[in-house]
A and B are shown apart, each in its own frame.
Chain A
Amino acid sequence: MNIKYLLIILLLTSQSIFASEKQIDPKEVQKNLRCLVCQGQSISDSNSDFAQTIKMVVDDLINEGLTEEEIYSFMSDKYGEWIVFKPQLNIQNSLLWILPYMALILGGFFIIKLSNKKNKITK
Chain B
Amino acid sequence: MQKIVKTIIFLIFLFILSVFFIGLNKDTNYNTANQINKEIPDFKVSYLDKENFFTKNDLRKNNFTLINFWASWCAPCRIEHPLLIRLSEERNMKIVGVNFKDKKEQAKKFLGELGNPYDVSTKDTNGKQSVLFGIYGIPESILINKELIVIKKFVGPLSVNDFNYIKEIIK
- Whether A53 pairs with B8 at a CB distance below 8 angstroms is no
- Whether B128 pairs with A50 at a CB distance below 8 angstroms is no
Give Cα A114 to B62, complex, Å.
Answer: 73
Give Cα A56 to B149, complex, Å.
Answer: 27
Q: Which of B35, B126, B128, B137 contacts A37 (CB 8 A)?
A: B137
Q: Which of B1, B30, B101 contacts A80 (CB 8 A)?
A: B30
Give Cα A31 to B128, complex, Å.
Answer: 19
A41-60 interface code vs B (CB 8 A; 1 in, 0 out):
00000000110011011001
> What's the least CB distance linking A20 to chain B, in Å?
28
- Whether B8 pairs with A50 at a CB distance below 8 angstroms is no
Interface residues of B in 53-104 (CB under 8 A from A): 101
Give Cα A37 to B135, complex, Å.
Answer: 11
- Whether B136 pairs with A80 at a CB distance below 8 angstroms is no
**A79: CB under 8 A from chain B?**
yes
Give Cα A6 to B71, complex, Å.
Answer: 64
Count A-side interface residues using an 8 Å CB cutoff.
20
With contacts A60-B128, A82-B28 taken as known, whether A50 is within 8 angstroms of B137 at the C-beta atoms is yes
- Whether B28 pairs with A78 at a CB distance below 8 angstroms is no
- Chain B, residue nearest A83 (CB): B30
Give Cα A78 to B34, complex, Å.
Answer: 8
- Whether A53 pairs with B132 at a CB distance below 8 angstroms is no
- Whether B28 pairs with A53 at a CB distance below 8 angstroms is no
> What's the least CB distance linking A80 to chain B, in Å?
5
With contacts A79-B30, A80-B34 taken as known, whether A53 is within 8 angstroms of B128 at the C-beta atoms is yes
Give Cα A77 to B32, complex, Å.
Answer: 10
**B31: CB under 8 A from chain A?**
yes
Residues of A within 8 A of B35 (CB): 78
Interface pairs A-B: 7 shortest CB-CB: A53-B127, A78-B134, A57-B131, A36-B136, A50-B136, A80-B34, A79-B134
